[in-house]
Amino acid sequence: MDQRRLEYFIAVAEEMNFTRAAQRLLVTQSTLSAGLKALESELRVELVTRSTRSVQLTEAGAAFLPEARAALEALDRARAAVEPVSAGLRGSLTVGMLTSMTIVDVPALAGDFHRRHPGVRLRLAMSQRGTAGLAEQIKDSRMDVAFVGRHLRDEHLHVTPIKKYDLRLLVPEDHPLAGRAAVGLAEVAGEPFIDMPLGFGQREVVDEAFARAELSRQVTVEVSDVTTIPAYVAHGLGVALLPEAFPAAPGVRALPLDTELSWTLSVIRSARRKPTRALYAFMDLLPQHIHRERAF
């Protein structure tokens, strides 16, 4: 089975778009399409369904994706067994990202990795579904490693916590609770909340805390960029719970909670697949690019 064809299929499966996949691989779209068709002919099965607007994996394609990635990883390890160290790393590495994360200097990390391992194709990808979406893509072999907004407990994932933050309540400075030394969840259960959409680690942590306390709350404003939340609070649209190190906006008061509630930034990878040499190299560099005094 031709390695290049496997790379074509994986790129299409990850991008769900022929144009972006071709750009990523630095080939023409016609070359990519021909290579994928040749792979489907070899396997005697359709791997993707194509239309003018979208690309979707077939059932066979979804089943084949982790095997295709495993095959490329096996080739990388086989080369490593016979190539001299001076030959350097090759292959690809897909890294899942959170929006507005600065505790890890990702541009510096990516640049450092690229200088050391120019033979590895590095791809950084944002998830529109937050932590839940990133974890799903790791388990489905569509990503190699990802930064997520909580300390997940999942037998399919290897989880390394980076930093834990206590949450604090943000209220407008003229809010009746603004002068309190500490606030309980029950006191704000009836307040309108500003939060991330469902699936994001920040949202899941708070939702679970209210559920454990047998309380309910109403999220009236959902935003995908956590850095904008304090501004919405300042304009009186609701209250919010954010990590303690997160900078508040003018017109906002930050209050401690009277119960322990925390948010953890973690990095995850599959617990079922053996890490590639590229992934080991990436993880080795990560500690050098963490700014622990920052919020995200």
DSSP annotation string for 55-119: EEE-HHHHHHHHHHHHHHHHHHHHHHHHS-GGG---EEEEEEE-TT--SB-HHHHHHHHHHH-TT
The predicted-structure confidence for 236-264, as pLDDT tens digits, reads as follows: 999 999 988 777 688 999 999 998 899 88
What was the pLDDT predicted at 206?
A: 94
Q: Where, residue-wise, is CATH 3.40.190.10 in the chain? A: 164-263
Residue 294 has pLDDT above 70, yes or no: no
- CATH of 164-263 among 3.20.20.70, 1.10.10.10, 3.40.190.10, 3.40.1390.20: 3.40.190.10
Region 269-284: mean pLDDT is 90
Alpha-carbon span 190 to 175, nearest angstrom:
14
What was the pLDDT predicted at 214?
A: 95
The predicted-structure confidence for 283-292, as pLDDT tens digits, reads as follows: 999 999 988 6
Which of 183, 181, 186, 192 has its CA nearest to residue 233?
192
Q: Where, residue-wise, is CATH 1.10.10.10 in the chain? A: 1-87
Q: How many CB atoms lie within 10 A of CB 24?
A: 18
Confidence of residue 86 (pLDDT cuts 50, 70, 90): low
The predicted-structure confidence for 123-147, as pLDDT tens digits, reads as follows: 888 877 788 889 988 988 888 999 9
Q: How many CB atoms lie within 10 A of CB 229?
A: 26
The predicted-structure confidence for 172-226, as pLDDT tens digits, reads as follows: 999 999 999 999 999 999 999 999 999 888 899 999 999 999 999 999 999 988 8
Question: 257: which 2 tokens?
Answer: 């909670």
- Contact in structure between 189 and 260 (CB atoms under 8 Å): no
Residue 101 has pLDDT above 90, yes or no: no
Contacting residues for 276 by C-beta, under 8 A, at least 6 apart: 73, 76, 77, 91, 93, 144
Full-model pTM? 0.72
Confidence of residue 81 (pLDDT cuts 50, 70, 90): low
Taking the CA atoms of 183, 185, 190 and 192 in sequence, report the sign of the dihedral they define. Answer: positive
Q: Does domain 1-87 have CATH number 2.40.50.100?
A: no
The predicted-structure confidence for 30-60, as pLDDT tens digits, reads as follows: 999 999 999 999 999 999 998 767 789 999 9
What was the pLDDT predicted at 85?
A: 55
